[in-house]
Amino acid sequence: MLIKSVSSTCLFVLAVNAQVYGDGLFDLSLRQLMNLPITGTTLTQETLSSSPAAITVFNSDFIQSLGVEYLHELLDFVPGVQTQRTADSNFSYGFSFRGRRNGGQSKEVLLLLDGQVLNDPRSGAANGSVRLMTLDNIDRLEVIRGPGSALYGTGAFSGVINIISKHDVNAVSLKLGNFNKQAVSINSTLKSDILKLDTYLNYQQDQGDEYWLERSFESGNESTQDPRALLEFRTMLSRGQTRVSFYAQQASGDDFYSLGTISNDFNANVYQHYGTHIKQDFKLTENSASYFELGYRYVTADIDSQITAPGDLFAISNPQSNAPVFIKAKIRSEGYRAKFHNDFQLKENISLQWGFDWHRNSELTSEAQNNYNTGQLYDGVIPVEYYGDFNRKTVSDVVSGKDMLGIYAQNIWKISSRHQLNFGLRYDSSDSVASHWSPRLGWVISVDENNFIKALYGEAFRAASLNEMANPESPIIKGDPDLKHETIKTYDLIYQHVQSRFNLQVGGYYNEYSDPINIALNENSIREYTSGNDSDGHGIEFEGNWNAATDSWIRLTYSELLSAPDNFFIQSKTTASLMFSYVYQTASFNLSTVYHGERETQINTNEFESIPSSWSTNFKFNYQVSKNLSNQFSIKNLSDNQYASASQEGDLSDGVPARGREMMYSIKYVF
């Protein structure tokens, strides 16, 4: 009620003078934006033109100009990246780089927040435990496409997302929207002579949209909804060269899909992620800069889902019951990480980076409370005992901790003002999978001050995650303890053109996949992890920005998967985005649209269903009342399109539906 009353009071606040406060989106020319510092590609400071990678960078002003709220929505504006809603829960969204994604989880992408790894320890997925990430506290976002194992090891298979948080900000934002949405976010910075504390807090909740979907266990359709709540907390304490950070998130939701099925009033999901990170900078020599990092993350997942239709176990249960099989799963996992990195300047034009890191991921708990004896059910023991309540549980064998040690080295050689070479090599060793070498080579050519060419080669690998190796007899998704690690070899050729008011980047890539880890439907329509056949694919990516005038900006992206392995069917072959921003004195507006081409969803082993192509348009209006106070009004899915994402869950022939039109008013005060 407090949020609602404050926002209503401020809704019609008018400017008291005609002072022009401007918009940060146009404070820098496109050439200056191209020179923003980038750290995720080489662990040194580079620019868009000098980075040996296919990379897109967004600063805070650009992010805030768009009518989007979450990381997965922003990624749709990156060429070669596409997002999809999944049926794991009502707040699950996966994203893929260049078409590669294993089911509903983004296991091929490494997600970093201020150097802290956020990938789920059990699944290895970037969206595994951090299901929704808001954008209010992001200062810079680097999206790196292509293999990253030469620096980061397993997990950086097809790309890296590097997030840098805001600092030195004091602001509060209140938001109201349809679906009875309410949200508040707070940025705070406290300083003393020797300490600085940056804190971000965000809480939001809504009642969700209404859907009319096919029943999971009976014929016909039924109504469901997707209410959700999200709590995020980040804090960073800095003193000199020492930095300690903490991150926590809880996402919860009811009804809608849970593990691919609908069961209103029973389905529920709660995911929690806690992580802490310590970084110490120091100098080993006068010509070097070094740091040491320690990290820890703890993840919980509570999943309530219906597994069978009513009556399925009547004939084989004791006492006999028509009740469906329900589960209340509880999963706990943790991850440790240590890293040392050194950057040594050998000569004015040659630098050497080297280091090592170690991480250990462990599954702590994997159990489920059931209304039947599911142990007997999985083992084929008849009759199956019916409990009638959830006082007893089935405990699965947990996968013991998996250690990985990596050693890497990289050389950056600026041969001349026009040529830069990058060499990198990393060795990863583990007692649970075969060791692996990951090489990298990049040649950046500055043709002149406006034109650049990049020729890149890289290899990456991804070791099977804990959940891919666990529970080979699961009726939901079967693991395989004998999975090999998958590998990729990528060739990139990129051209960049830069002017003060216009830039573009166009590139082509070719990927070779070996032993890809896939999800397939077996003859019983149960999903299982398998090692697939070697395959390849190639595509093109385009990104262009144009300051048509001092007060307007047009941005266009286009991607095409020219060829792809057969198991890429859930991905669109064609994706695109278009954005237009305009500023007039104290007001600005943004109109953006995202296109996903046709894709397919798998019904059973040999049957696929087409999911139509779709457009989704967003709008945002910002009015700067004063230097400190602003009002925003945004609309997501402006035309209320009824579109869906393709799914690998069986029987979802229409895919997973997106939310309809979402409108939101917000007021922000900077102090």
Q: How far is CA 452 from each of CA 52, 438, 499, 501, 504, rounded to the nearest angstrom?
A: 11, 26, 12, 17, 11
Could you tell me if 623 and 597 are in contact, meaning their C-beta atoms sit under 8 angstroms apart? Answer: no
Determine how β-strand 196-206 pairs with β-strand 159-165: unpaired
Distance between CA atoms of residues 140 and 58, nearest Å: 6
Q: Looking at the predicted structure, is the pLDDT value of residue 461 above 50?
A: yes
**Cα radius of gyration rounded to whole Å, the chain:** 25
- pLDDT for res 20: 34
Q: Looking at the predicted structure, is the pLDDT value of residue 654 above 80?
A: yes
Distance between CA atoms of residues 638 and 660, nearest Å: 9
Distance between CA atoms of residues 216 and 211, nearest Å: 14
**DSSP-assigned letter for residue 305:** E
Q: 622-631 pLDDT, tens per residue?
A: 999 999 999 9
Q: 372-427 pLDDT, tens per residue?
A: 998 888 778 999 999 999 998 888 776 667 899 999 999 999 999 999 999 999 99
DSSP collapsed to 3 states, 20-64: CCCCHHHCCCHHHHHCCCECCCCCCCECCCCCCCEEEEEEHHHHH
Return the residue matching tokens 């985005």.
577
State in words which class domain 2-670 has: mainly beta
Distance between CA atoms of residues 128 and 107, nearest Å: 8
- pLDDT for res 99: 85
Percent of the chain predicted with pLDDT > 70 = 92
H-run or E-run covering 80: none
List the Cα angle 191/44/201 in 5-degree steps.
35
Distance between CA atoms of residues 71 and 91, nearest Å: 13
Q: How far is CA 640 from each of CA 93, 178, 616, 632, rounded to the nearest angstrom?
A: 19, 13, 8, 20
Distance between CA atoms of residues 105 and 421, nearest Å: 35
Nearest to 354 by CA among 291, 277, 420: 291
Mean of per-residue pLDDT scores for the chain: 89
Mean pLDDT of 165-189: 97
**DSSP-assigned letter for residue 90:** T
Return the residue matching tokens 């950086």.
156
- pLDDT for res 571: 86
Q: 570-620 pLDDT, tens per residue?
A: 789 999 999 999 999 899 999 999 999 998 877 766 777 889 999 999 999
Could you tell me if 309 and 333 are in contact, meaning their C-beta atoms sit under 8 angstroms apart? Answer: no
- pLDDT for res 1: 43
Q: How far is CA 86 from each of CA 93, 220, 261, 326, rounded to the nearest angstrom?
A: 6, 22, 11, 21
Nearest to 329 by CA among 269, 383, 241: 269
Return the residue matching tokens 């209006």.
621
Mean pLDDT of 351-355: 97
Q: 108-121 pLDDT, tens per residue?
A: 999 999 999 999 99
pTM here is: 0.93
Could you tell me if 213 and 221 are in contact, meaning their C-beta atoms sit under 8 angstroms apart? Answer: yes
Return the residue matching tokens 């976010």.
185
- pLDDT for res 455: 98
| SS3 (DSSP) at 257 | strand
**DSSP-assigned letter for residue 655:** -
| SS3 (DSSP) at 224 | strand
Greater confidence (532 vs 241) lies with: 241
Q: Looking at the predicted structure, is the pLDDT value of residue 5 above 70?
A: no
Determine how β-strand 221-225 pairs with β-strand 257-258: unpaired
Q: Looking at the predicted structure, is the pLDDT value of residue 349 above 80?
A: yes
Q: 73-109 pLDDT, tens per residue?
A: 999 999 999 999 999 999 999 999 998 876 678 889 9
CA 104 to chain centre: 12
Mean pLDDT of 271-275: 97
- pLDDT for res 194: 95
Give one DSSP letter per residue of 374-403, joined into a string. HHHHHHT-SSEEB-SSSS-EEEPPPPPPEE
Domain boundaries, the chain: 2-670
Give one DSSP letter per residue of 134-152, joined into a string. BSTTEEEEEEEES--HHHH
List the Cα angle 40/70/518 in 5-degree steps.
70
Distance between CA atoms of residues 130 and 144, nearest Å: 19
Determine how β-strand 317-318 pairs with β-strand 384-385: parallel
